[in-house]
Amino acid sequence: MGISEGKSLLYTAAAGIAPEAILPVCIDVGTNNPELLNDPAYAGLKQERIHGEEYDQLVEEFIGALKAWRPHFLLQFEDFANHTAFVLLEKYRHELCCFNDDIQGTACIALAGILSALRAQGKQQGGGEPSPSLADQTILFYGAGEAGAGIGELIAFALERRHGLTRQQGRQRCFFMDSKGLVTKSRLASLQTHKVPFAHDVPNCPTLLDAIKTVKPTVLIGVSTIPSSFNPQVLHEMSKLNTRPIIFPLSNPTSKSECTFEQAYNGTNGSVLFASGSPFPPLTDSETGITHYPAQSNNAYIFPAVGHAAVLTKAREINDDVFLVAAETLAKLSSEKELQIGRLFPRFSGICDVSAKIMAAVAEFMCATGLGEVPRDFISVSTAAAGRLEDWEAYSKKHMYGQSQKGGGGGGDARL
């Protein structure tokens, strides 16, 4: 329950959804942990976990109850196991307003970080040169679970939508490593379903260093939960290949991070563009006196704003375009000065303003494309059906909890 309750608090604190419009739910299907089964203090069901058809029926019954209860709701899937998360998302994503934060929220914040890092690279070049293109990047993932696959799919989707590549061409820019080495075509017969689209015709590489030398990535993303796997040799090789390597150790908590900010900074002679899943302290360069800040790739930048926008517009579904819009919006919010000291994302102290801008972009997109509907109380000076972006931002702020007597949360019939 701690996870669903914590996410609920962030919906209110970060994006202003009224607390009474949020219901944290934990579905207990038993446990296969023998210690818990024999623990008299264990509060959960003391039975082995159900699976298969029985599990699917339980989830179906729960969602059916939500449909019967409210005319519109947003359902966020959180902390489901790999083999379940992808199946449930694909089953329900076009049927109701829902998303999986572990897959899609993580993908969105990671893509935003990459786009922001590319902005930083462009500013570093000087001379008015445009930022490097996402289409020119090669991304290597250390770890091949639901988070990594979700990031890879959103990157491929962005390349399809914004750069004219096919989805498979986009996937070919993403390489994955699992416990058996680089994911390749030669391993197709034994790969889990979500890894198959990323199995490319490349040599087998048993170690991360081998994979870096073979693939020559411009971006290295850690989703392995293996601490210190981005060792000095790995960091040095990335800095040999790239003037400003993009390195994102996204595993958390801190004890499972692939490297610390200090290790990444020192291992690349200060050239790294860094974002992590865990928080790390800033570093002050002893020669220049400049303090550099590690960006934290925190889903709280994304899911509360996307969720609130979906509730305000009573969205019928939340597709990949929505997360692409959210990522692109967030990637533009750090100033040039902030980018040069490592702040790939805006300060979290201003999260409500950040959320309002993301809510505005998402709500405008949803209404313009028919995913959502313009709220009855939306007043716009624009003649466009979706309204202007500045109108949506004002509307979003007005409907944040505490900003009006009515509170917010998208009206009496919408729930999260």
Structure tokens at 295: 């960006």
Q: How far apart (Å, rounded) are the C-alpha atoms in residues 172 and 170?
A: 5
Arithmetic mean of pLDDT, 254-276:
97
How far is Cα 170 from Cα 158, in angstroms, rounded to an integer?
Answer: 8
pLDDT tens per residue, range 32-49: 999 999 999 999 999 999
pLDDT the model gives residue 81: 85
Dihedral angle computed from the Cα positions of residues 32, 36, 42 and 46, in that order, rounded to the nearest 10 degrees: 40
415 band by pLDDT with thresholds 50, 70 and 90? low
Reported as a pLDDT band with limits 50, 70 and 90, residue 407 is: very low
CB 274 within 8 A of CB 292: no
pLDDT > 60? residue 127: no
Of 10, 58, 5, the closest CA to residue 348 belongs to 10
Write the pLDDT tens digit of every residue in 313-371.
Answer: 999 999 999 999 999 999 999 999 999 999 999 999 999 999 999 999 999 999 999 99
Res 178: pLDDT:
95
Indicate the pTM of the whole model: 0.93
| Domains of the chain listed by start with CATH number | 104-299 (3.40.50.720)
Judge whether residue 405 has pLDDT over 80. no
* Per-residue burial over 41-65, b = 16 or more CB atoms within 10 Å of its CB, e = otherwise: eeeeeeeeeeeeeebeeebeeebee
Q: Which residues contact 123 (CB under 8 A, 6 or more apart)?
A: 131, 336, 339, 340
Look at residue 414 and tell me whether its pLDDT is greater than 60: no
